[in-house]
Structure 1
């Protein structure tokens, strides 16, 4: 009897231990079961440098996204941002930006081709789901900064045919489409040409990205667009008072538009954390040296990025945490509901948290969501369902 009792207790102990392990790991089961997509990474910037091998883990390179990291973090799809720094607003420079965007797309296509057994370029949710069934990662593309469109409205259709599925209308400086959140008032919102671009993007079925644009630009886009819009990498201004983030009123307007805000995990947009004054001075000097990173040549851009990386190593940032980031999701969900929020990390462009520094650590976000009571259905919407709804609606409206 004593022997049987001991065996029973041992069995019970084993079962309880197994249950605890399964409970702890339950978030990862959920994470792997849903389609996970990151709506904004600047990985093409690293690919253009030529030193990053997307097919390997790149130890010591300091990059955030590559195929091994995507596999480890069970990230099924990612939007590569075709980023253009804002330069002079002249016909010559517009042409250079247009050509550079095409070069970056060429590079992405070449990188994916070299790894075609493990990933593929897609332009629709359906294609992305099909790739997941085959164990391959989905690579979407968007353009960050409408500077690439110049004054050629036909460029919208051209880039759509090349696989671009959203355009962030501007970056940190005003361009010929609209005013930026980080610049002085120019047009007071959208330019006349910018309004034409909004309508043309609606017509071809390309998503309008309102991250980076000024408040006035945002409201004008919302009024003008016949289709839902996205904020590919933004946060809540109520939680973190940064002009790159959306106010509660903007979020309510976004809900009415049936759009989606994709949570950016760049620490400055998540939480205001005092930094080492030496770090602030060093980065300020770097911005001055490289003209606020505007109007740089390819060589200058690469030098600036290397200098930025070196300063990050010399003066590590004090970063916000996953808990801080999910506070934004909580606020957004309480304000406008579960159907209008997703995730766009800004990895390889400054995004990263103290406990989520690259794609391999993204399950930490799901773990925090589970800890706060979000259901699998909720998490599926946050990790891609809401964004894919918008993609399909934008495409459907264009088709009709």
Structure 2
């Protein structure tokens, strides 16, 4: 699947997800550029090279983190967003935006493309939108999904994403490389900054951001910026009443007011980008087992491959006890229809259950001695699917050979 191609999708402190018992679907959103760069700088490039000379530290770190997230958070839907080359509306408004960033290290070149290849093999869409940053894509999907009742998890190293936090959206902020994450809920934002998530971009505008080349105010640090936002409620009110701010800090604020207002405009994430996917179309898809084998052979990821295969249900379960699996994934909401067509009385069936590291079923594969088969992603099953599958499994009139 190519980045941004919607045609192939169906309609339809870091701890494990506290809402895992919630019946709501969970959308996992990955800030691709942010996470890949953090992985690159967290793992020494010299220790991650193939025999052909390909550096793989960013790919390895990104994949390792993704495996942990899929295992711990059990998302029903997932997507990754990446920045695009070229101008964005932010660089049009402020040409110096991110102009201080160093050029891409030579060892990093080529790793983005392989990360995209890996995500594609895992059935995870990659989204890139010209004129916008990955932040804006994630903000749009999070806003849409939250309104539709999803639990949304945004994984990023960019603190600006904190502005998206609400009762439906949690930000997992990378704290150390990509191995440690801080979970930001509305309560956690309040505890750390003394602000609401909606106030965070006002605070960020006053603080400035060296990583984005957004200037701060000399003599004004995070404590003063947060104090002003709390005192005045928001930046717009502070600007209206700027003459009331006392002392040298007030003088500095008045002298830098235009840059603060511009910072605020650039810090605000766009929540209405036109996208090729809707949140419900991002439901987890079958992954290409053979493509992953080929890719990981090329990258020499032996241990990581074992971890991935332990975490994910096999997309094409291997033959067992004379049964062959010739079908693919059965789409959520169609299990009863599939069983009515394929589960005939008098046939013999092979049933294979795949579990994750915690021992929870993740997929159930069904094959017949006639060669027909398919598999059911447990996470994506609807209540109607579960009833239909449960009734069929309990039916004593069909012979079933159970595996795993």
**TM class, shorter-chain normalised?**
under 0.3
**Larger Rg: 1 or 2?**
2
TM superposition score normalised by structure 2: 0.26
TM superposition score normalised by structure 1: 0.26
Name which structure has the greater RCO, CA cutoff 8 Å, separation 6+.
1
More helix by percentage: 1
